[in-house]
Amino acid sequence: MTADTDASDAVKHGLTPLFPKLWRYCLVLTGARERADELAQATCLRALEKADLFTLGTELDRWVFRIAQRLWLNDLRTQSVRHGEGLAPIEEIDFPEKQGDPESNFSARETLSAVMALPEAQRLTVLLVYAEGRSYREAAEILEIPIGAVMSRLAAARGKLADMINARSETK
Amino acid sequence: MSEPRQFSDEELTAYLDGEDALALRETIERSLAQDETLRARLDALTLDTARIRTGFAELLSNAPQAPEFNCDRVAPSPMRRFQTTWRHAAAAAVLALFVGFGGGALLTGPAEPGWRDYVASYHALYATVTLSGVGQTTADAAAELERVSAAIEKPISLSDVSMPDRLDYKRAQILSFEGRPLVQLAFLTKQGTPVALCIIEASEPGDGAVQTTRLEGMSAAYWSKGGHAFVVIGGDDDAFIGQLAAVYSERL
């Protein structure tokens, strides 16, 4: 088996278990469920096309997230704007209704809404560092930005989120 | 006394995030003890990140059905060809990407073979380095096994899975297949080949003898016993995997 075939197999077999995380990444990137569905699928196609470029032994999710981001920035976002759809109005996102403790779910959903109200660049950094627990360096690699930019995005996000989230928890 | 050092919001954020190399932790902590304004600034940046994690974790279960990339294994009838408006639609035809409609249609059908295929797809991503860095104390390994055993209601001890002349036990984790817990025990052979023993509660109780097969190009063996279904998979030595299965089917 050649290295290319191995890489292709790794991508082919890795995309299915990775898909929920990819879709979530796309949701945060695009800010809208429908666009997230489209981008996640387009990303899978592109990843399969380019599978021989995947380096075995590296994390597939980082590689796939970068593909999603490039597709969105270079192509799909432009199309969305051109077609008059605008950029990710937060109201479009239909957050999941979960069964269980309504108090705790409300809180988690509110937090999610607050994050999604941030600018695209900040919410993506928040996802990678706070939801996925990645280091600054890993987030910088995925987002293809300097580590200083990760820090400034998080600092800005923290300032805004702390106001919103902490204020709400105090009132409960 | 020297002039108090000023810290940027970025430095304080890195401090809160435990990115110590960037944040000059000690300097910040010294200043915090004396500087009320700095404490207030830090408070204004403090965030309950656990809540963010929880909120985003809930989103995962709302992801749509994953596209199916291995269409040769899955009957196409419940699926529709993925129709994309995206300009690379032609690639869809070449790559035979399918999307399941109707909520999990892809995962239904013959349930038991389905789970084995998914185990194989997942295991195909394992390389030696996936596991070579994992080192647990015996006590940690035993505690972990106890935790995963509880998930599938099947007692598994370290002595059950140990085969020191053939395999180094690495770790256990709980995965999920169609909402059912699936336990994966991971090993490295003496040559560094990743091997997994996976166990799931069978949808129908019954005993089935060990059978060997190939999944995703890897050697695999499967059997069922006492309400659980088992797979051993890894590498390409069919005889070796068969031997492991024979031992485990006795012990477990």
3-class secondary structure, B91: helix
Give the chain A residue whose CA is nearest to the CA of B106.
A16
Report domain extents, chain A. Answer: 1-93, 101-172
H or E segment and range at residue B225: strand B218-225
Beta bridge partners of B199: B183, B230
Range list for CATH 3.30.200.100 in chain B: 111-251
A101-172 topology per CATH: Arc Repressor Mutant, subunit A (1.10.10)
Which of B66, B86, B120 lies at the smallest CB-CB distance from A42?
A: B86
Chain A residues touching B58 at Cβ < 8 A: 96, 98, 105, 108-109, 112
Cα–Cα distance between A172 and A102 in angstroms, integer? 13
Cα–Cα distance between B161 and B159 in angstroms, integer? 5
pLDDT at B37: 93
**Least confidently predicted of A2-6, A49-53, B196-200, B222-226:** A2-6
pLDDT at B195: 95
pLDDT at A127: 96
ipTM of the complex: 0.82
Per-residue pLDDT tens over the stretch B220-246: 999 998 889 999 999 988 888 988 988
User: Is residue B202 predicted with pLDDT exceeding 60?
Assistant: yes
* Per-residue CA distances from B251 to A96, A154, B150, B188, B196 (Å): 44, 51, 18, 19, 16
| CATH of region B111-251 | 3.30.200.100
pLDDT at B100: 27
Cβ atoms of B229 and B115 closer than 8 Å: yes
Confidence label for B73 from pLDDT (cuts 50, 70 and 90): very low
Q: What is the mean pLDDT of chain A?
A: 80
Task: Please tell me which residue, B50 or A80, carries the higher pLDDT value.
Answer: B50
pLDDT at B104: 28
User: Is residue A138 predicted with pLDDT exceeding 80?
Assistant: yes
A94 Cβ contact partners less than 8 Å away, ≥ 6 residues apart: A33
Cβ contacts from A onto B, under 8 A: 176
Mean pLDDT of A75-93: 50
| CATH of region A1-93 | 1.10.1740
Backbone Cα Rg of chain A: 17
Which of B10, B51, B125 lies at the smallest CB-CB distance from A111?
A: B51
Q: Kindly provide the b/e burial profile for residues B221-236, where b requires at least 16 CB atoms within 10 angstroms of the residue's own CB.
A: bbbbbeebbbbbbbbe
Confidence label for B90 from pLDDT (cuts 50, 70 and 90): very low
Confidence label for A111 from pLDDT (cuts 50, 70 and 90): confident
**Residues of chain A with pLDDT > 90: what percent?**
40
Residue A162 tokens read as 């702390």
Confidence label for A32 from pLDDT (cuts 50, 70 and 90): confident
Is A139 near chain B, with CB under 8 Å?
Answer: no
pLDDT at A171: 52
Residue of B231, B208, B249, B201 lying closest to B121 (CA atoms): B231
Confidence label for B72 from pLDDT (cuts 50, 70 and 90): very low
pLDDT at A25: 95
**Least confidently predicted of A36-45, A126-135, B16-25, B92-101:** B92-101
Mutate to test the interface with A, among B62, B118, B176, B215 (most CBs of A within 10 A): B62
CB pair distance less than 8 Å for A158 and B129: no
pLDDT at A156: 94
Alpha helices in chain A (DSSP H): 3-30, 33-49, 60-71, 77-82, 102-116, 120-126, 136-143, 147-161, 167-171
In 10 A of CB B41, how many CB atoms? 16
Task: Please tell me which residue, B19 or A103, carries the higher pLDDT value.
Answer: B19
